[in-house]
Structure 1
């Protein structure tokens, strides 16, 4: 049902995954009252549900939760969750800084249930435009159009919007997902719906954590199937989670990156990509190698590794999915027929221009066409636009490695919440460098 008098909010959040959940927590804990509304097109809160594999662990400490680094006394912390559900002592006795992904997802759902302000699910933001000002001067409100669960429309005015639509699954070039070719983001959903007896030959392409975990899961879950791992490197590379390297995810590291030279930014990516990208935890690598060794010893020939290889074509031939694999060793290609191909080939950052539409013309860009972003994660805009557009994600070029990761989520959301409150009280100008 369309409203003639749109509601007005200080903050409208577009998307509601962990990042905007953390922002909702920060706004609720703010000493300054802020009105907010969050819209999520999915029917419920979900965070990588397709990869909540049994025993799969987080790659960040439980202390890097929604709130602790911003507010150690928060009632939304992971420790508060453990206490509330009666598992604090058991978790401590486990002597592990890294909960399973399933437990962390349960924590996220618990935190969402504690929010005072409900989230509008099954509600897709279809457009953001300038709100009518009724006069001259810079626009200080945006008109956000939302498709509601019943298929109707809702319009709200926002003094600030925070875009957090998540990462975009990436497939190999020229390959499209279908019922026989999956991206890892949909792995568990699709696997539960398939007749496992039909899966006799499966292949997994990718060299990162998700790829290795899926290879392990398929090998253990399908005892009658062969599993081929198509790896772009010479085997899996271990993630660097040593103390000095992990400092690249500290809150202070964001300042160093943001204010650093282009040379220093390039150095961070060159030397520290192996903290997160295309790398695997040593426990998963060791477990896979042990399986491979036992497989070779028992001559079962169920687990194979195609190293220094990439997928160049996928097509359906009869009842098979034919995967053309190119070897970087021999520079020759060969075909591999499988019943299922899983592409654990990562994600691309969100592109805010897609949701901004014509509003993007009011946003400043650098020489490479990337958005200019303030230290407070606010897009730099032209004088005609005085309301705030903030990004949760898509800021790797300005804020570094942790821009779309959980590592800095509490502090990042706190920075955005502080900027919104400060700008409202006139403590800042346009928020270009909070």
Structure 2
């Protein structure tokens, strides 16, 4: 449940995933019984919440923070739907690399002294000098996922895995105002509903797979997020002459299209994209500065109309674009086919630009699906080309609105007349002070692109943002101020 890096998303073979060891230090966060009042509860334990856990740990570490007195030990809990920590396990494509520097890990940009940096991970794994010899800032995606699992392991005492949060509801009132929230979750194995109370709640659900409207429910039609984990269960014979189609024009679609040719060497593959061509992402130095943490403040201060215009202008850095080296590899494959045969319609691997799926006829599992493809500029035709496929991979991105349903029962706590959640610069949503205590609050993570910019759902700012969240949630307590001091300040 966590955000994804620059439009990137377990390998096919589990032996590719290295075993992890815990960092040398143990977390300073303490677990408490579920029936106790929590100071903080985070919904989801993906990279965003993990960065918060690390930042809180570091803020409590006297070796790193002058404000750490050792007396403040908040009661915290993280609820995660998955059975263990995993980051985009369905898109750990063999050979794929990160699209951001390892320096943008979960700690370095906030405090390079932290023991949770990628460099310390390499040192702990006895691979630091070997990684240096690679001469790159871009680790394998598989390695970076292992780094995050290594970071997550010390926090297992405060994480409840296999718990899917179903809703957040207002708690009982003190002096006429809501003083805490009740977070209800369903156990993935037993179905049992549990309730936990928390004064402060961070919602970090990550993206939800987005499927085009009209696509039928079929096990052979799956989102790109299930590529490595789901497709091998559908297409079990790697040497079989399958027909496989991919829909999409971004990094995930290109990676899948390219990897299918290696994974199923006898298959026929087709890439269907609305654009005229695969386009390269712009990650040049000056442009890449839009993902600098300090840019969030500048973006947040812009008028709403200018924010919309800025996102539209800068989308080529992240949406429906592909890294240039992958484009070149794919083009080389297509060119070699052209050398052997000029008739594109007979090629084993094809790209159909300016096309869209008009409709899909899905039969019983013994038959191939029929995909009707037509030009994006032709609304009259039902589909001039028909593909018969064994599987269809859909790489059409993610929706980031799952918090809406989760927080439906606390909508009444928003200020009068407010019809949408309004996150502040510190990601704390605005609530009616006459209905909610100053000591209670809700924070949103990974769904604030409209207010905080393109980097909101990416890894680039997680380290710094984790520190900002900790400061917003626990700043006074970490500074040694009492809850009474906080309430008094809120009244002035």
Superposition TM-score tier, normalisation by shorter sequence: over 0.9
Alignment of 1:375-390 (within 5 A): 375-383=425-433, 384-386=435-437, 387-390=440-443
Contact 1:364 1:379 in 2 (8 A): no
CA distance in 1 between partners of 2:340 and 2:267 (Å): 15
The reply on whether 1:350 has 2:401 as its aligned counterpart is: yes
Matched residues in 1 for 2:469 and 2:321: separation? 30
Q: 1:21 to 1:5 in 2, by over 3 A?
A: closer
Residue 115 of structure 1 aligns to a residue whose secondary structure is helix
The answer to whether residue 6 in structure 2 is matched with residue 6 in structure 1 is no
Give the Cα separation in 2 of the matches to 1:265 and 1:430. 36
Displacement after TM superposition at 1:336 (Å): 1.7
Paired residues of 1:15 and 1:165 also in contact (CA < 8 A): yes
Secondary structure of 1:174 counterpart? coil
Residues 144, 155 of structure 1: 8 Å contact kept: yes
Distance 1:155 1:330 in 2: 53
Structure 2 residue aligned with 1:23: 52
Query: Does structure 1 residue 305 correspond to structure 2 residue 351?
Result: yes
Report whether the alignment pairs 1:83 with 2:123. Answer: yes
CA shift in 2, pair 1:325/1:370, >3 Å: farther
Measured in 1, the distance between the counterparts of 2:334 and 2:445 equals 40
For normalisation by structure 2, the TM-score amounts to 0.82
> 2:223 matched to 1:183?
yes
* Pairs within 5 Å for 1:386-425: 386=437, 387-422=440-475, 425=481
Deviates more, 1:240-249 or 1:121-130: 121-130
SS in 2 for 1:251: coil
Per the TM alignment, residue 415 of structure 1 is displaced from its structure 2 partner at its CA by: 0.8
Where 1:120 maps in the other structure, the secondary structure is strand
Q: Is 2:236 the counterpart of 1:195?
A: yes
Deviations 1:21-53 (A, max 9, x none): 111111111135322100111101111110001
Residue in structure 2 matched with residue 73 of structure 1 by the alignment? 113
| More displaced stretch, 183-192 vs 26-35 | 26-35
Give the deviation of 1:269 after TM superposition.
Answer: 1.1
Question: Structure 1 residues 35-44 or 188-197, which shifts more?
Answer: 188-197
- The CA deviation at 1:345 is 0.8
Moved more, 136-145 or 418-427: 418-427
Question: How far 1:55 sits from its partner (Å)?
Answer: 0.7
Residue 132 (structure 2) aligned to one of 92, 97, 100:
92
Cross-structure match for 1:372: 422
> For residues 134-153 of structure 1, what are the structure 2 equivalents within 5 Å?
135-148=174-187, 149-153=189-193
Count, aligned residues: 428
Inter-partner Cα distance in structure 2 for 1:5 and 1:39 = 11
Matched, 1:361 2:361: no
**Aligned-residue CA RMSD (Å):** 2.4
2: CA distance, partners of 1:419 / 1:301: 57
Decide which moves more: 289-298 or 372-381. 289-298
Q: Is 1:217 matched with 2:252? A: no
Partner-residue secondary structure (3-state), 2:138 = coil
For residue 144 of structure 2, what is the aligned residue in structure 1?
104
Range with greater deviation from structure 2 (214-223 or 23-32): 23-32
Maintained 8 Å contact 2:240/2:264 = no
- Paired residues of 1:419 and 1:431 also in contact (CA < 8 A): no
CA distance in 1, matches of 2:181, 2:488: 16
